[in-house]
Amino acid sequence: MNQVTNTNAIILLKAAKNLNIKTQIINIKPFKIKFSKNKKTHIIRAKSFNLNTSQQAKDIAKNKSLTLQTLALSNLPTPQHATVSNPLNYQDISIPFPQTIKPLTGEKGRYIFLNIQDKTSGQKAVNTIFEHYPSGAIIETYHQANDYRFLVLNFKVIGITQRLAPTITGNNKDSIKKLIQTENQQRHQQFLKTNQRLLNRMRNWPRLKWNLAQQNLSLDTILPQGKTITLYPIPNFSTGGSVTTIDLKSIHPSIKKLAQKTAKIIGLEIIGIDMLIKDLNQPVTPDNVTIIEVNSDPGLRLHDWPNQGKPQHVAEKILKSIFHL
């Protein structure tokens, strides 16, 4: 087990041990593991729980524009959006400001630009995206709300987390860059001690510089004692953000039903659904809830290794479903 470094694999292996499910590591990187119990076997690979049966559904999930089109056809709350296949086409887009601009097929929060206020800033964002993702960019209306990940298995919600953007707090002595380096060292030491990567490092300097500039700050700025700033507004684990679990019983039932309906419309047996929600206790309305993305290969760490809140043991729920336990 110590040889495996993929977090999903580590969490699944631990869950299997708790459930007395036999495991055989067929390959370490990319991981391929065989799970066995009661004469039944199931193989899980990196990038696949081996549960989603429809290739068409997986293709829809990988394309952000196609995802939004599919959900909008069923009148589910989604942002207005348009795609550009050439950077020059951005000037013809009529999506109202503020905008969110991101790669058409990107992942892990890479090259996502939020709260774009004008065409000049938008064009810069589009140009940057095309340098790394020539397949295209998607332009959406920007919605300011809290970011939540819903994990749905067999069209039932089994986990909900709130994703929080990375922040740093000043000490009136060190620069923002120094504060980040110190925090990263502490996170790395925690990983070495626990063998659980509970927080990713924050070190994408171009991305951080861009967002700090929006706040009239730089990496050299010395923050006052106790002043906390958002380093990057993408509440994604890969950007150095954190997560807190949400009690499944604490949210408005219509929001859970929306997540389950989304899974059915896309057609995935296991799916991560990202929503922007202003108030979890209020019903679904276009003003309160917006579906922004889906993921056919959702991470387990957000639910089983949260930074705050109770672990939701979704890996065990997945294995129990597979082996009918």
Task: Please give the full DSSP string across 230-251, using - where no structure is assigned.
Answer: ES-S---GGGT-EEEE--GGGS
Reduced to 3 states, what is the DSSP secondary structure of residue 178?
helix
Residue 92 lies in a domain: yes
> Which pLDDT band holds residue 199 (cuts at 50, 70, 90)?
confident
Residue 246 lies in a domain: no
CB contact at 8 A, 27 and 13: no
- Last-in-domain residue among 232, 259, 288: 232
Residue 71 lies in a domain: no
Enter the pTM of the model.
Answer: 0.90
Reduced to 3 states, what is the DSSP secondary structure of residue 110?
coil
Q: Is there a single domain that holds both residue 45 and residue 95?
A: no
CATH, residue 108: 3.30.1490.20
- Last-in-domain residue among 142, 176, 196: 142
> Which pLDDT band holds residue 219 (cuts at 50, 70, 90)?
very high
Q: Is there a single domain that holds both residue 47 and residue 91?
A: no
Residue 317 lies in a domain: no
Total domains in the fold of the chain: 3
- Encode pLDDT of 1-37 as tens digits: 458 888 999 999 999 999 999 999 999 989 999 999 9
Residue 89 lies in a domain: yes
Residue 182 lies in a domain: yes
- Encode pLDDT of 2-12 as tens digits: 588 889 999 99
Residue 313 lies in a domain: no
* Sign of the CA dihedral with 58 first, then 61, 62, and 63 last: positive
Q: In the predicted model, is pLDDT for residue 224 greater than 90?
A: yes
Residue 216 lies in a domain: yes
For 209, the enclosing helix (H) or strand (E) is helix 205-214
Q: Is there a single domain that holds both residue 103 and residue 47?
A: no
DSSP string, 29-70: TTTEEEEEETTEEEEEETTB-S----HHHHHHHH-HHHHHHH
Q: What is the pLDDT averaged over residues 108-132?
A: 89
* Residues spanned by the domain of 170: 166-232
